Amino acid sequence: DGSKDVWLFNNYTEGNVRGVEVKAHAKWPAPSNVHVYGHQSFRDVRAYDLRHIGHHYANEPWSETARDVTLVDCTAKEPIFNDLYAGLEPKALVISAYQRVTVLGFTALGDPTYDYKGTPVIAFQYKSRKININGLNIFGFTKAGSDVRIYGGDQRTDDVRISNFTIHDSAPEGISIGGGVYYVTLMNGIAHTRGGSIGISSPNNQADITAVRAVGYTNAAVLAGQKYSSVPTNIKGGFRAAAKSGSPLTDTSAIIAGSGTIIAKGERNFIAGVAGGATTEGSRNGVMFSYNSHTKGDSGSSVVMASKNVINTKEYSIALGHGDGNPSEGNKKIELDAIGGTVRATNRIESVSDLKDFAEYFESTDGQKIEASYLVALEGEKIRKADVGDKILGVVSKTAGLVLGGAAFDWKDRYLRDEFGDIIYREVYDGERVITVPAENPDYDPSEAYKPREERDEWHVIGLIGQVFVRIDSTVGVGDSVSAINGVATKSESNGYGSVMKIEMPYDEEKGYGVAKMIVTPQH
């Protein structure tokens, strides 16, 4: 009680309840500025035990004196149960209530045949804080519970840093972190065992983990309930890497690979692959692979990509563009609007494959599939194969470069519309601000599985304008316009549909059709 400024060099203990104990009772100050060098504990129950009694539990006061203990090149060999203190669990190292503890070069050697009854080998517990472990080696505690246990709960420990550690052929669980512990760093370590269960475990994802490997466990890590085959790299706080400059100003912002003045001002902002500087404001915003481009304002989910001198102020959108001079919103060339599903571009939208026609989706009258290249006619708002005297709408197309009416993502009536077909919008709060979104139909059921039209037999892509492939009979030649008999084109003497450009496949009597390439426009 109350000891200060103590140095112990090169001592040995054996067969005790505790090998080295740094301890005080509740009413007395704890020992402080204590340094233990080169000690070996052999078959003591608890090799090294730092504690301040009466300051352990959540309802007890914090110790103001349990501070500054250093263990250097210490060894705990085969801690065991003994009769001197019945029920006391053997441990290599226990830290309770103490803060500012440094352990350098600590070795714990267990007996692989000894029954440690599932107890942790090293325990950090009872409101201990600011523990630094550098150079930890653990071996042989095969019948323990875990090699290192960082206890959580109301009297949890925290601010623990363990680096340069080796755990080899030891407990089923390597390092176990308890609930409510948020500030643990594990760096440069390996846990290698045979038949282990979990290398690193925590009920949350708050531990900083870098360059840690776990081998021989069923799961290398189990973090926040998720199982990992290899230990992930977890890094908290504002992050900057491979950048000549940059300021991630919040705990959840990151800057990677950049030069110039780079500032990530908002929460959850990301800047990567930039030159000439970049800045982001708002929340969930980003600039990527761009030169001197920025997001502005308090909006969320605003992005600039592959651009030069572009500013984006529009929420839930991606902007791409290029311009000289000062950055400007006027330098946008393409904008993808996630709220309305709108694509805007300042130049043509071009199909670079050999797709030839403009098309829309139409549903068949009988719900059955109509094969490719048959001519079709309207019956109300649905289609059937065109026949004698029908006004031809188009052709079932496999070569459409632009297709409308796909309803590929959800039910066509998911959003409410006015009498002219325009979507009705409403304002909602997204957790950060009020935004305008399409008003959802109360009849929409998101739990009901949706099959897009392209996967349904009754829906057909109908080529309306451009070059199309059409089934023909033996009467059709180059330059002809056509009418239809049961969906197959036949030569029309007047007021026909389209114009034949080329006979791709001559009429085959066995197949019952040939194939022609036609140029078509809407009939009036």
Query: Hey, which residues are catalytic here?
Result: 360
Q: Which 3 state secondary structure label does DSSP give 60?
A: coil
Q: Which residues pair with 180 in a beta bridge?
A: none
Contacts with 113 (C-beta within 8 Å, 6 or more apart), sequence order: none
As a residue count, the chain comes to: 524
Alpha-carbon separation of residue 155 from 28, 62, 64, 128 (angstroms): 21, 10, 16, 9
Q: What is the chain's alpha carbon radius of gyration, rounded to the nearest angstrom?
A: 37
If phi > 0 it is left, if psi is from -120 to 50 it is alpha, else beta; for residue 373 that is: left
Q: Which 3 state secondary structure label does DSSP give 88?
A: coil
Q: Are 363 and 431 within 8 A, CB to CB?
A: no
Q: CA-CA distance, 99 to 446, in Å (whole number)? A: 53
| DSSP structure class, residue 378 | E
Helix, strand, coil proportions of the chain in percent (round to 5)? 0, 55, 45
The DSSP secondary structure of 436-466, one letter per residue, reads EEEPBPTT--TTS----GGG-TTEEEEEEEE
If phi > 0 it is left, if psi is from -120 to 50 it is alpha, else beta; for residue 399 that is: alpha
Q: Are 66 and 49 within 8 A, CB to CB?
A: no
Tell me whether strands 332-337 and 317-321 are parallel, antiparallel or unpaired.
Answer: antiparallel
Q: CA-CA distance, 449 to 471, in Å (whole number)? A: 36
> Exposed, middle or buried by CB within 10 Å (0-12, 13-18, 19+), for 126?
buried
Q: CA-CA distance, 412 to 174, in Å (whole number)? A: 53
CA angle 465, 468, 473 (to 5 degrees): 125
